Amino acid sequence: MQYYARPETGLDPSCVNEAVEAAFAAFARGETEMPPKVYVTLPGGDFRTMPAYIPALGLAGVKIVNVHPGNPARGLETVMALIVLLDPPTGMPYAILNATGLTDLRTGAAGAVAARHLCRKQDGIELGLIGAGRQAETQLEATSAWLGIDRVRVWSRRSATAEAFARRFSRFEIRADSLERTADCDLLVTTTPSREPLVMDAWIRDGTHINAIGADAPGKQELDPAILIRASVYVDDPRQAIHSGEINVPIAAGGYSIDRIAGTLGDVVIGRGGRHSDDEVTVFDSTGLAVQDLAIAGVALRRGGPGVELVFP
Amino acid sequence: MQYYARPETGLDPSCVNEAVEAAFAAFARGETEMPPKVYVTLPGGDFRTMPAYIPALGLAGVKIVNVHPGNPARGLETVMALIVLLDPPTGMPYAILNATGLTDLRTGAAGAVAARHLCRKQDGIELGLIGAGRQAETQLEATSAWLGIDRVRVWSRRSATAEAFARRFSRFEIRADSLERTADCDLLVTTTPSREPLVMDAWIRDGTHINAIGADAPGKQELDPAILIRASVYVDDPRQAIHSGEINVPIAAGGYSIDRIAGTLGDVVIGRGGRHSDDEVTVFDSTGLAVQDLAIAGVALRRGGPGVELVFP
């Protein structure tokens, strides 16, 4: 059994995007096994257990990931993760990966896959980023690997954070801006831990695609529910989205109903549904699938790199 | 983060029994978080993911365990397991344990806890073992650490296996015997992977306590359903027992109903229920709880021992 401490180092964003796209497609075809993720509450946070199996890739395993918002004050990351891979025909664990970086990358890749299939154009894109943390970085890296980004606007609750983000990505035509002006774009990506709507419907121009990334637990939301009513909403997994995605609060409050969901991103990837017109507003509600984690773990292992040999069994 | 390849080495059975007893008690008091285990089907087997948190012990984590009946033909064990422990206040993984041996021991300990609280006597016990594999060994080791065993009868489908078992445990008054004569005892322990009843009701004398260990997945059963009707049946966790314990097949077939369950072993441990008379037949239906795994992992870590330092985060 091998342990990989830095499996995300040097991964090519296009390869990751492709692997994650294939995982969404396999999920849509019913060719994966993936129970809904299981939450356990801890003091100051929680951890989630995400088992899955993708027969076509020969990948089976579990991601274990926490969310502890108070961690940065202790010098630790909010989200830390491990992936354990098992050999499907024998069930034997053969690899353990530090998956903190992989989790960022596979979430970025989901946004890129959604943008490829749901944006009304693939070039000359005006991108808006609500939130300027690590996930905003990986969304920008992953999406710009596949789509032509013309200009970027970025907003953060602390303007200094947005300005620092803009300096780090000065290879783009980029500027920190207000919420309202940032939301006026072709592709809007929200990556905050907000528990109340930040983005108002009136600010969203026709034809915008929104990647709603931040909401991944009950009580979290970033979008004015009127956006969800106006838009065609695609989810990664209906079971998870209802429980913990962008739609979870509006559903609990009665302002959104499950039967409004337009489909899954996997459905769109395999050609079952997608954008109907250039004027349509589309939303991808991302909660994060265990099959994304398996897919990126597979990319990391194929690339090789140094591991530590552990005695097992 | 530390990796422990042989954490079961040298663990004291009494300490393990006590820790597992405390875990059952905490579960019965509602002082644990433990979602039902999640099954993923693989070719030739399955794997199960078992997350839990025991606040009083400061232990949180996940066991990942497979069951592949064809593994021995490949030179591998049927069941292999890992436990990942997380620091509750930060969610950071800090220990990974090879849990194949720990899984055996904690299942043996559950049998010992049940025998301590449900057998009509604690000394001079006539013990019957149906099945002569590794789990029969750990049941015998764990139970004999707490109870006085006067004689042992052991049955296996292959008589040579039972005879070899008897030779290995010649420190006991022990003999390989028929199914019927093995079942005629004070404490009967069944540890086979059977999918049909092996032990008939007519063979069970009044007052017997049965630890039904083998059935841990849908379709498995070892006992004549008439035994379950006659007996007071205690389970580790009703949700798991209904899905995959000894009672799962009779419930699916309509021959047993959930409302007949007498209670949980944890209830018995904390004094809420237990044996009513010396004539009563009692059954403990074990499926295996994630809190048992956390408890034994805690014992193994407290004892210390050599680990391998892994870079994380």
Domain count, chain A: 2
The residues that bridge with A65 in the sheet, in sequence order, are: A48, A81
Whole-number pLDDT of residue A243: 92
Asked if residue A248 is part of any domain, the answer here is yes
Asked if residue B35 is part of any domain, the answer here is yes
Q: Which residues of A touch B47 (CB under 8 A)?
A: 51, 60, 62, 86, 91
Q: A51: closest CA among B51, B80, B91, B243?
A: B51
Could you give the residue ranges of the DSSP H alpha helices within B62-126?
Answer: 100-118
* A 261-290 residues inside an 8 A Cβ radius of B: none
Asked if residue B264 is part of any domain, the answer here is yes
Whole-number pLDDT of residue A304: 76
Are both B72 and B125 inside the same structural domain?
A: no
The residues that bridge with A121 in the sheet, in sequence order, are: none
Asked if residue B152 is part of any domain, the answer here is yes
Interface test with chain B among A4, A9, A85, A90, by most B beta carbons within 10 Å: A90
A66 contacts chain B (CB < 8 A): yes
Are both A43 and A152 inside the same structural domain?
A: no
Whole-number pLDDT of residue A306: 82
Asked if residue A148 is part of any domain, the answer here is yes
Q: Do A68 and B90 touch (CB under 8 A)?
A: yes
Are both B29 and B165 inside the same structural domain?
A: no
Are both A24 and A139 inside the same structural domain?
A: no
CA torsion, points A240, A101, B66, A313, in degrees to nearest 10?
A: -170
Whole-number pLDDT of residue B217: 86
Are both B80 and B142 inside the same structural domain?
A: no
B94 contacts chain A (CB < 8 A): no
B98 contacts chain A (CB < 8 A): yes
Are both A203 and A300 inside the same structural domain?
A: no
Asked if residue B302 is part of any domain, the answer here is yes
Would residue B63 show up in a list of annotated catalytic residues for this protein? yes
Q: Which residues of A touch B69 (CB under 8 A)?
A: none
| Residue B130 DSSP SS3 | strand
Cis peptide before B72 (omega within 30 of 0): no
Asked if residue B108 is part of any domain, the answer here is no
Are both A73 and A137 inside the same structural domain?
A: no
Write the residue in B35, B88, B312 that is nearest to A43 by C-beta: B88
Beta-carbon count within 10 A of A174 CB: 21
B305 contacts chain A (CB < 8 A): no
Q: Among residues A37, A63, A121, A220, which one is catalytic?
A: A63
State both tokens at B279.
């004539």
Residue entry with tokens 């597992």: B20
Interface test with chain B among A71, A85, A86, by most B beta carbons within 10 Å: A86
Whole-number pLDDT of residue B305: 77
Are both B79 and B164 inside the same structural domain?
A: no
Are both B41 and B166 inside the same structural domain?
A: no
Q: B63: closest CA among B106, B109, B21?
A: B106
Asked if residue B109 is part of any domain, the answer here is no
* Domain assignment of residue A160, given as a range: 120-287
Query: At residue B306, what is the residue type?
Result: P
CATH code at position B233: 3.40.50.720
Write the residue in B6, B53, B68 that is nearest to A91 by C-beta: B68
**Angstrom distance (rounded) from CA A100 to CA B263:** 42
**Angstrom distance (rounded) from CA B199 to CA B223:** 5
H or E element that contains B77: none
Beta-carbon count within 10 A of A180 CB: 12
User: pLDDT tens digits, chain A, 313 residues: what are they?
Assistant: 999 999 999 999 999 999 999 999 999 999 999 998 999 999 999 999 999 999 999 999 999 999 999 999 999 999 999 999 999 999 999 999 999 999 999 999 999 999 999 999 999 999 999 999 999 999 999 999 999 999 999 999 999 999 999 999 999 999 999 999 999 999 999 999 999 999 999 999 999 999 999 998 899 999 999 999 999 999 999 999 999 999 999 999 999 999 999 999 999 999 999 999 999 999 999 999 999 999 999 999 998 778 999 999 9
Which residues in chain B show pLDDT less than 50? Answer: none
- State the smallest CA–CA distance between residue A269 and chain B in angstroms: 25
Are both B74 and B91 inside the same structural domain?
A: yes
Whole-number pLDDT of residue B89: 98
Contact B34, B293 (CB under 8 A): no
Are both B95 and B177 inside the same structural domain?
A: no
CATH code at position B46: 3.30.1780.10
First-to-last C-alpha distance (Å) of chain A: 8
Could you give the residue ranges of the DSSP H alpha helices within A70-224?
Answer: 100-118, 134-146, 159-168, 179-183
Are both B279 and B301 inside the same structural domain?
A: no
Whole-number pLDDT of residue A216: 86
Whole-number pLDDT of residue A102: 97
